[in-house]
Amino acid sequence: MSYQSTLEFNTFGRGSRDITAAVADVVTRSGIRCGLAHVFVQHTSCSLLITENADPDVRHDLETIIRRLVPDGDPAYHHDTEGPDDMAAHARAMLTSTFVTVPVGDGRLMLGTWQGIYLWEHRVAEHRRNVVVTVMGD
């Protein structure tokens, strides 16, 4: 059995947004008790991650690390159609991930105590992002 839903989120520019509750709601609506929830973002300049959900400093520090690895406006970049953060956002998405998969048990996401699912916006400006959640199992 499978169930699929597309969620829409507004981002507030660069940074992460907790989408755990919205994904969990899709799992509940699916009626699937045991299986997998596959979460996929349909964009090339943002990503998904599972990380610490208690201390926001973790996500701040992750942003600091990725900013050092992939700076905006590097003169070596050729692609800058949408501004100095354009190519950096694509590289950040490539270095992180556009999907996560989480086990489903007893009809709920089997995340650890301190885990949450986050949409990580890599662009400076606000964007509307689509996230496809596919739940498969019994």
Other beta carbons within 10 Å of 49: 15
Q: Within the chain, what is the greatest distance between any pair of CA atoms? A: 51
How do residues 46-89 score in pLDDT, each as one tens digit? Answer: 999 999 999 999 999 999 999 999 999 999 999 999 999 999 99
Q: What local confidence, expressed as pLDDT, does residue 21 receive?
A: 98
pTM of the entire predicted model: 0.96
How do residues 31-57 score in pLDDT, each as one tens digit? Answer: 999 999 999 999 999 999 999 999 999
How do residues 14-27 score in pLDDT, each as one tens digit? Answer: 999 999 999 999 99
Q: 6, 82, 89: which is closest to 41 by C-alpha?
A: 6
How do residues 94-131 score in pLDDT, each as one tens digit? Answer: 999 999 999 999 999 999 999 999 999 999 999 999 99
Q: What local confidence, expressed as pLDDT, does residue 10 receive?
A: 98
Mean pLDDT across the chain, nearest whole number? 97
What lies within 8 Å, CB to CB, of 87 at 6+ separation is: 74, 77, 78, 79, 80
Amino acid identity of 3? Y
Q: What local confidence, expressed as pLDDT, does residue 88 receive?
A: 98
- How far is the C-alpha of 15 from the C-alpha of 60, rounded, in Å? 8
